[in-house]
Amino acid sequence: MIEKKARGIGMKTLQFDNHDTRIKYYELLLERDLDDLPCIPLPEGYRFVFFRPGDRDAWITIERSAKELTSYEQGLEVWDKYYGGNENALQDRMVFVENEAGEKVATATAYHDITHRDTSGDGWLHWVAVSRAYQGRGLSKPLISHVLNIMRRLGYTHAKIPTQTTTWLACRIYLDLGFRPLPKNAVNSRDGWRIIKALTDHEALEGFDAASAHEILTDEVLAEEGEAQGL
């Protein structure tokens, strides 16, 4: 949460959701070496499983629940864009977390840059998501550390992960796990990192000054709140 005061809007406390479109959108890119990786166990009652043919819809369901996707149709489009025709490779790259009932409730994938703009050969951590009902149960960090270890076993020595300011809480988790802003992205999306600094106060971002409430909230939200205040 963050206290805000902008353009005459009275001071009050805002609580941001894990995925919040009221936050100005900036693309963020983090990186870390794959040495000295943590190995964080899952809570009791959960297990890791790899993708198997037929798991596409389970992946879409998780991503929709986490608000990464807005519809099943969009899920099909994203799946085809990232993984279409390459499902066989997912059988040792895409991971799910299952609960005791065998329901898939979280996912992440050790992959690569699908745009081919990154010529470094680094691994890319893609589409990390936890179903809404299972968020806050300690699944994210074990999942990410597990997939990073898989990435290392696949031969990668360095990893990148793309994210955005609207999923600020996920960004905090990545920072906790040793990821840091890619230097070029730290310059190009500096205002985005200032937003993350304001929302998380993470020690890894000590080189960034915190954004103000006016800089965090979208113009539409500021206009709506200003109108509500009669400003």
Decide if pLDDT at 158 tops 80: yes
Q: What is the pLDDT of residue 17?
A: 87
Tens of pLDDT, residue by residue over 87-115, are 999 999 999 999 999 999 999 999 999 99
Confidence of residue 130 (pLDDT cuts 50, 70, 90): very high
The stretch 150-167 carries a mean pLDDT of 96
Q: How many CB atoms lie within 10 A of CB 105?
A: 24
Give percent above pLDDT 90 in the chain: 84
Domain limits of the chain? Answer: 1-35+161-231, 39-156
CATH class of the domain at 39-156: alpha beta
Tens of pLDDT, residue by residue over 65-83, are 999 999 999 999 999 999 9
- Interacting residues of 105 by C-beta distance below 8 A, sequence separation 6+: 46, 62, 96, 97, 98, 99, 130, 131, 133, 134, 139
